[in-house]
Amino acid sequence: MNLDMVMSGIEFTLIQGQLDIEINGIYYDSREVLKETAFVAISGFTVDGHNYIHKATENGANTLIVEKDVQVDGSITVLKVKDCREVLGKMASNYYKEPSKKINLIGVTGTKGKTNTTNLIKDIFDQAKKPIGLIGTKGTIIGNTITPNQHTTPESLKLHKTFSDMLKQNIEFCVMEVSSHALELKRVFSCYYNTAIFTNLYEDHLDFHSNMEAYFNTKAQLFEMTTDYNIINIDDDYGKFLSKIIKNRQAALVTFGCHNDAVVRILDIQTIGLFTKVILNTPIGCKTFYLDSSTVVNIYNNIAAMVCGLCYGIAFKEIENTCSIFANKKYVM
């Protein structure tokens, strides 16, 4: 692809070289760079990509994306930007022809239960014969293929390639775990989400986030990125607050919980033998279903997945059947 097209919509300063050149890929690891590709010099916690620009050019990079001043051969195109992490996401989106705009993207965030919730959503969509892929802690699932992920939410470059790969296999939906690290480190920058789901927020990752307020604010970013639905557990105090600050956004706010003002209201939860009976008041009437879990977190994560299915027009009977199927699977949060 022509470099000028890859840099479309990105602010940069041309330090040297030209934009009218072809690049055959984008990399942020100098060891992986191939001939006639672009290298993005990301500054990490322990490693600075700017220290490896010469290795990247030795391996064949014809373009460097940098934040700092660098000295390289005059034949190399150098573009200076404010934030290489942010630019990497936009470049990847452009290079793969904005795949997240072409797939219905569902992001799940929260402290506990992202893996549980995303797996259940995939099962619900599979039951309804809606082609769906998954990205998360246990790997990326495209069709019958599972590949491992280094992070719960991969780097932006891998994400956009994955969306592109899903589209090539006629997958219409993708559900993914969105970690606070991914939001803070802009791994999901230039991803276009249709739906976001908030499960809960507990004290965690404070070695990365300075305090709970910062942790919450990072999570809340996802709900500014949606177009269709924001699904939120308002029995969680942070979820309740989140629902208030995003209520006027473009995406429809779909809340669930015991509160009277919840769109999907929990009327009753009872433990009956080995099962938990849950009664919901939904926009399509009162619904009763049974779960094999009695833990509060798992019950709410199941409800979150069910609400997602309802938002996408999946019949409640199919959702209910999936829950009984899901009860036999041993996913770990």
pLDDT digit string, tens, across residues 206-250 = 666 678 899 999 999 999 999 999 999 999 999 999 999 998 899
Torsional sign, CA 302, 218, 84, 99: positive
Where residue 324 falls among pLDDT bands split at 50, 70, 90? low
Average pLDDT over residues 23-36: 97
Q: What is the mean predicted confidence (pLDDT) over 13-25?
A: 97
Q: Which of 79, 61, 58, 62 is nearest to 70 (CA)?
A: 79
125-180 pLDDT, tens digit per residue, is 999 999 999 999 999 999 999 999 989 999 999 999 999 999 999 999 999 999 99
Calculate what percentage of the chain has a pLDDT beyond 90: 80
| Distance set, CA 202 to CA 114, 119, 258, 300 (Å) | 13, 21, 19, 14
* 3-95 and 99-326 agree in CATH topology: no
CATH class of 3-95: alpha beta
Alpha helices in 96-209 (DSSP H): 114-127, 156-168, 180-184
Task: State the architecture of 99-326 in CATH terms.
Answer: 3-Layer(aba) Sandwich (3.40)
Provide the pLDDT for residue 129: 96
Residue 330 binned pLDDT confidence (cut-offs 50, 70, 90): very low
Domain ranges of the chain: 3-95, 99-326
Please give the mean pLDDT across all residues of the chain: 93
pLDDT class of 271 with cuts at 50, 70, 90: confident
Q: Which residues are CB-contacts of 244 (< 8 A; sequence separation ≥ 6)?
A: none
Do the beta carbons of residue 109 and residue 301 sit within 8 Å? no
Residues 6+ apart with CB under 8 A from 165: 142
